[in-house]
Amino acid sequence: MAQSLRCAARENCIPISLLVYEGKQECRAFLIHPVECFSRMQVTAVKVRMDIKRTPKSKLKKRLRTGVLILVGLAAIGGITYGLAKMKPAAPTLDRSTTVIGTVKRGEMVREVRGNGTLVPQVTRWIPAPAEGRVEKILIQAGVEVGAGTVIVDLSNPQMEQQAMDAEFQVKTAEAEAETLRVRLESDNMTQQSQIATINAEYSQAKLQLDTDEVLGKQGLVAELQLKISRVKVQDLANRLKVEQQRLAISGKSTKAQLNAQQSRVAQLRALAKLKEDQVDALKVRAGTNGVLQQVSVQEGQQVTPGPNLARIADPASLKAELKINETQIKDVREGQAAVIDTRNGVIQGRVSRIDPAAREGTFTVDVSFTEALPSSARPDLSVDGTIELERLKNVLYVDRPAFGQGQQTVGMFRLSADGQEATRTTVSLGRSSVSTIEILSGLREGDQVIISDTSTMDNYNRIRVR
């Protein structure tokens, strides 16, 4: 039995089911306007006797209708899913205020490479420790301008000072011995001369006696034997005089040789004493040249040995720049190329004077000699930036160097539309590069605007918006 209901709220409500509990009736109805009514209301029931016989055919139709609705729903869901999958993702947006945009230009492009470095003196003097000693005092600190005779470090070595004193005494002893030898030799020489004078006098007397005897002998007044004795005596004295004169000559040579030998010994001892004195004097370590004291590598009280460097002096007027150039950019650097050195207190023009043949830690050292006067602020070891001009390219397309891509590569760059609101990825072939610009071989035209800031986060998009 079914009950025919009339909804108190609406007249066009088709009843679906009726619940009766606790004396109240609830109408669940489907409105024609498709609004589902779940309101609980009081209705007026009219009892009608109705017997509905359910047949298998009606159940089949209901199942078919349900299956069709399910298939239609599944098809609709599949179509919607496929459509959403085929839709292009929404283009991301870049903020113009944080985006770097470059304009493609045509004209002369200057190729340059840049590197950091320091100012290095071309004339440097290292001062080694002259001898073993103890550092008594450091008189000059680094950074002070010094002269050739300026004492920088004072060393002490008692043993060396004693040796110098002993050498001085040895010189004085040798000089005294040389004077004694000279006096003795002069005395011997005078004795020899005295003997010669005596013999010469005897010879003269014998010669006079011989002459007298010969005259008397001719007169028969002197015996022949006496005449012969006088002749023998004269001959003997003549021989003795000759020998003594030869001995005097040889004695003179001997005297000179002995004096020379003694003087040589004195000179040797003087040289040794001078050497010892110089060694002691060298304990006062001097600069040896004009310049600026750059470094003192010892401390007071330290014991040093001969050889290690104690200080370094540099000539501030002979500075050069040593730049570190990346090994990927060194292939185009040549001697004689123009360079600009920025000391942060002035810009100095120069030229490449030397290129290190070997790389160290991925860089090559390039020396730049200056062609103009250095500013007063230039100092050794001052950090500088250097730019070397490689070449000038005439009538080429170029753009500011992007944050991505290197020379001789093909990259994707976002080119802005005419209104500047969108950017589309474009394949661009890059040519030779410089510090801040890069050559465009193909893919862009003069006047095009491209994004040169980092767009690696947009690699999955071919179009972006710029606001």
Q: Is 24 helix (H, G, I), strand (E, B) or coil?
A: strand
Q: How confident is the model at residue 83 (pLDDT cuts 50, 70, 90)?
A: low
The overall average pLDDT reported for the chain is 82
Instruction: Supply the pLDDT for residue 32.
Output: 39
Q: 444, 415 in Cβ contact below 8 A?
A: yes
Task: Retrieve residue 419's tokens.
Answer: 């209104």
Most distant CA pair in the chain: distance in Å?
227
Tell me how far apart the alpha carbons of residues 269 and 286 are, in angstroms, rounded to a whole number: 26
Instruction: Supply the pLDDT for residue 87.
Output: 57
Q: How confident is the model at residue 1 (pLDDT cuts 50, 70, 90)?
A: very low
Q: Write out the DSSP string of 102-169.
A: EE-EEEEEEEEEEEEEEEEESSEEEEE--SSEEEEEE---TT-EE-TT-EEEEEE-HHHHHHHHHHHH
Closest CA to 351 of 359, 341, 343, 342: 341
Task: Retrieve residue 170's tokens.
Answer: 């040895």
Residues 6+ apart with CB under 8 A from 214: 227, 230
Dihedral, CA of residue 117, residue 120, residue 122 and residue 126, to nearest 10: -140
Q: How confident is the model at residue 397 (pLDDT cuts 50, 70, 90)?
A: very high
Task: Retrieve residue 226's tokens.
Answer: 């006496």
Does the global pTM surpass 0.75? no
Q: 263, 196 in Cβ contact below 8 A?
A: no
Instruction: Supply the pLDDT for residue 86.
Output: 61
Q: Per residue in 266-312, pLDDT tens?
A: 999 999 999 999 889 989 999 888 888 888 989 999 999 988 899 98
Instruction: Supply the pLDDT for residue 429.
Output: 93
Least confident of 52-61, 149-158, 379-388: 52-61
Q: 171, 273 in Cβ contact below 8 A?
A: yes
Tell me how far apart the alpha carbons of residues 71 and 79 are, in angstroms, rounded to a whole number: 12
Instruction: Supply the pLDDT for residue 168.
Output: 92
Q: How confident is the model at residue 50 (pLDDT cuts 50, 70, 90)?
A: very low
Query: What is residue 98's DSSP assignment?
Result: G
Q: Write out the DSSP string of 378-414.
A: --TT-EEEEEEEEEEEEEEEEEEPPSS--TT-EEEEE
Percent of the chain beyond pLDDT 90?
Answer: 31
Instruction: Supply the pLDDT for residue 225.
Output: 80
**Angle in degrees, 0-180, between the axes of helices 224-282 and 158-218, rounded to the nearest 10:** 170
Tell me how far apart the alpha carbons of residues 345 and 382 are, in angstroms, rounded to a whole number: 11
Closest CA to 316 of 125, 151, 149: 125
pLDDT at 102 over 50: yes
Instruction: Supply the pLDDT for residue 203.
Output: 83
The residue length of the chain stands at: 467
Tell me how far apart the alpha carbons of residues 328 and 305 are, in angstroms, rounded to a whole number: 45
Least confident of 6-10, 68-72, 187-191, 425-429: 6-10
Q: Pick the residue with more confidence: 89 or 15?
A: 89
- Average pLDDT on 375-388 reads 86
Q: Per residue in 352-372, pLDDT tens?
A: 999 999 888 889 999 999 998
Tell me how far apart the alpha carbons of residues 386 and 394 are, in angstroms, rounded to a whole number: 24
Tell me how far apart the alpha carbons of residues 226 and 62 are, in angstroms, rounded to a whole number: 197
Number of CB atoms found within 10 A of residue 114's CB? 17
For residue 20, what are the β-bridge partners? 25
Q: Per residue in 319-338, pLDDT tens?
A: 899 999 988 888 889 999 99
Instruction: Supply the pLDDT for residue 54.
Output: 53
Q: How confident is the model at residue 387 (pLDDT cuts 50, 70, 90)?
A: very high
Q: How confident is the model at residue 339 (pLDDT cuts 50, 70, 90)?
A: very high
pLDDT at 20 over 60: no
Instruction: Supply the pLDDT for residue 243.
Output: 87
pLDDT at 340 over 90: yes
Burial 24-47 (b: 16+ CB within 10 A, else e): ebebebeeeeeeeeeeeeebeeee
Tell me how far apart the alpha carbons of residues 400 and 122 are, in angstroms, rounded to a whole number: 37
pLDDT at 385 over 90: yes
